[in-house]
């Protein structure tokens, strides 16, 4: 494991737990408000024409994308918790060096040190980006 102090690990665990519970609450709220809520917010009633329905559908898709992002972040937090339990937290998955505490505080689910993350982004930039 990287050379993080016990106080630093405790602080990171707190940050991870706070974010985890906040995300769970956001997902619950989003799921409770799913359905026709988008239409109500747009026009105050059931859609009156195809344009209103289309806008409601677009907002519903946006809601699903936001929930998907939140669930992905929840999984990242769970993976970080597992790395903590396995004593592998804070080690770069590419070079094996320790990830700086400042980076971990800014991005507690980081799997790579700053240098390796930059290289990863240069190498795989746009890999999952759809194209026409």
What pLDDT digit, counting tens, does each position of 6-65 carry? 999 999 999 999 999 999 888 888 777 765 454 445 444 454 556 555 555 555 565 677
Q: What CATH number corresponds to the domain at position 52? A: 1.20.120.910
Is the residue at 107 inside a domain? Answer: yes
Q: Report how many domains make up the chain.
A: 1
User: What average pLDDT does this structure show over 66-86?
Assistant: 92
Domain of 59, in residue numbers: 6-124
Q: Does the pTM of the predicted model rise above 0.85?
A: no
Q: How many CB atoms lie within 10 A of CB 104?
A: 23
Is the residue at 88 inside a domain? Answer: yes
Predicted pLDDT of residue 67: 84
Is the residue at 131 inside a domain? Answer: no
């Amino acid at each position: 494991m990287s050379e993080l102090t016990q106080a630093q690990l405790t602080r990171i665990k707190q940050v991870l737990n706070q974010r985890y519970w906040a995300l769970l609450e956001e997902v619950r709220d989003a799921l409770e408000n799913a359905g026709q809520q988008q239409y109500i917010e747009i026009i105050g009633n059931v859609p009156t024409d195809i344009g209103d329905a289309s806008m409601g559908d677009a907002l519903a898709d946006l809601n699903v994308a936001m929930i998907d992002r939140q669930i992905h972040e929840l999984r990242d937090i769970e993976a970080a918790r597992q790395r903590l339990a396995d004593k592998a937290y804070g080690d770069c998955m590419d070079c094996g060096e320790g990830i700086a505490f400042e980076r971990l505080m800014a991005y507690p689910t980081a799997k790579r040190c700053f240098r390796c993350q930059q290289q990863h982004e240069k190498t795989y930039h746009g890999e999952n980006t759809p194209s026409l």
